[in-house]
Structure 1
Amino acid sequence: MNTSAAMTLDEPVGTILCVDDEPNILASLRRLFRRENYRVLCAGSAAAGWAVLEEERVDIVISDMQMPEVNGTEFLETVRQRWPDTLRLLLTGHADHEATVGAINRGEVYRYITKPWNEDAILLIIRDAFERQALQREKVRLEALTKEQNDQLRELNATLEQRVRERTAELTSAQKSLQASHERLKTNFLTLIKVLSSLTEMRSGAVAGHGRRVADLARRIALRMGLTAREAQDVFVAGLLHEIGKTGFPDTLIGIPESLLKGDNLGLYRKYPHLGEELLMPLEELREAARIIRAHRERFDGAGFPEGAAGFDIPLGARILAVAHDFESLQQGVLAQRRMDAAQATELVAESRGKRYDPSVVEAFYDIRTGRTIAEVIPEIAVGVAQLKPGMVLSRDLLSAEGALLLSADHVLSERMLKQLAEFERRAGSELQLFVKSGAADAPHTHS
């Protein structure tokens, strides 16, 4: 066996094995292919060619048809069986037509080259053969890759549903755990507020449970008025902590009824809503409750404290808390020097609507306390400005078309006020409707 390799500075393009029993043929092929930077191996017989293939990776094998012992057909047939990826070419003479056809069929020969050959033609055949090899190998690589990816996809599809179920179960469990933790935090937070409310009552001298009763009533009023659950909760928390500002009072101020406070003591006392807000403002969750606490002692008519805010400038939550606070405080003798029972306190609150309290809040409170509307208890009639007489008493607040408070409920109309209402009506260009208490100062007997 004769072997040789093309030695060039560049990496060989590919490996060719030439098999022929004539040394001059092998030498010619070696010289021709080396010029093209191919690695050339040579063998003088079929056995020698098989030995080379056992040791070397060969891209193309070129075999002569007529060789002693084993001819080209038998040689290439064995190559096809044992090294199917090696491309096979046959070198044959003009007289070997039938043998060539047999070699093509049995050895699955890619091309055959006739002797004598044309160098350009044989080089073109070799280039085509290498291109075919490259395409075939790329095809095999892509098929293997596709098969691998398809196998992975089938495995993924087979397990995807189970993975989705497992992941969904994990997420559901995590969500439930988070919800449970959140609910525990909310419960613990509210419990802490209730404990703080009890401590405030102990320090401020309030009757035990005062904060809880005020908070419960305030929340019921808020819900009756259509506030959201979150808004009603803020009102409830403000009710629990509405007197927290009193915890800094000196002992000499604790327990003195509000109606008996004077001078510096009264000035200090009236700061407690503001102090309560300052204590709670650092806690983000309590900021709305703090805002309510600051304004819960304001009055609808502007005569309250600490700012003297009036009407709808007072936060709704604070207007609600004011009613609940005063209803409880009237029964404890805090706002007045005598205690009232629940019925008396209810009626006093109702009578103060439009003055101390927002009439709409009082309506909701009165409905909760008695199951009736104030209109059912206090008869009223609707009249125009032209029907008004001095001495009539308003049963409801008089509001402008924009919602501004013009006159509060229980206001006694004077001659001067009647003239002002007539002038207001003329300038507004629309008629006013007022509600007055039935039977007051010869009110007309036209029922609303």
Structure 2
Amino acid sequence: MTFATHPSTALEMLATDPADVVVSDMRMPDMDGAGLLQEVRTRWPDTVRIILSGYADEGAALRSVPVAHQFLAKPCDPATLMATIRDACELQDRLSRPELRRLVGGLGALPSAPQSFAAITEALAQPEVHLRQVASIIEQDPSCAAKLLQIVNSSFFGLARQVTRVDEAVAYLGVTRVRDVVLAAEVADMFHCSTPELAGIAQEVNERSGIVAAKARELVKPRHAHDAFMAGILHDIGRLALATVLPDQYGAIAREQCTGDDLVLLEQELLGASHADVGAYLLRLWGLPFTLVDAVARHHDQISSDDDSPLAIAVATAVSQLDGAADTATLTPEVHSG
């Protein structure tokens, strides 16, 4: 572990010996943390980027949304910092292909379907927008939902528990913060730079995610309903990441029109990892709750009804039923009783 007292010194050190993880304060001389992490993302995209910021720096911290993977509030407990760094290092081993890991690590925002972004922009432009209306729109868009949950669950906001529901995140952050998060994530820029094929993949992911989310919510007890719905919304977010960072290769995969296990096998053969691996990697990198990450990682697995994760069982069952891959009716009673 090495330390630098100035951004320019940090960049010089990284040029000589690139790091697995960079932890930066927000307030620094000449260049703030957002600027430093932007430079790190450009030059060393596979490096995990963590920002430290005080509550007084809230506006500045939101500027770091596109370039920081995780956010920690000052003062930060040393044990929390070490655990965050340790988790980040373990993530580096999740994907076996360094090039793919670097590409996903350099991703600042995921693509949004045009209808979703237009609806969010229109709603946020209203002087008296209803929070439930904003939450309902965002719930239908996996990329916006993931980014919003990343921000609200960061230690910068100091919540006593992790938030897995979009409506709670919107209620806590408020309309102004939600607008800042959406803009800072550069969803609009990402969409305008996309190809028609990429937009089509994003639209397909959104449609499938809505179906899986609704089915997963039906398969669990009421206390798990909202979490199961959110896990369903996010389950295919790895496809958005792959379509964004590898548009040509993933476009070719999409044209094969594979689903279920066939899609996973084709991704692993051509890219070295599946969209489930990439989605879980990205969401864990963003610091989202383990239950959501676990459900995303295993949504194409054959999960035993004895498994202790109702979210993972519900999402895998919903995906399997949608793809017609297997008869999963026998899992449903076990999910309800879990």
- TM above 0.5: no
Q: Which has the higher contact order (CA 8 A, sep 6+)?
A: 2
Which protein shows a greater Rg?
Answer: 1
Question: Which structure has greater helix proportion?
Answer: 2
Task: Give the TM-score taking structure 2 as reference length.
Answer: 0.29
- Structure number with the higher strand fraction is 1
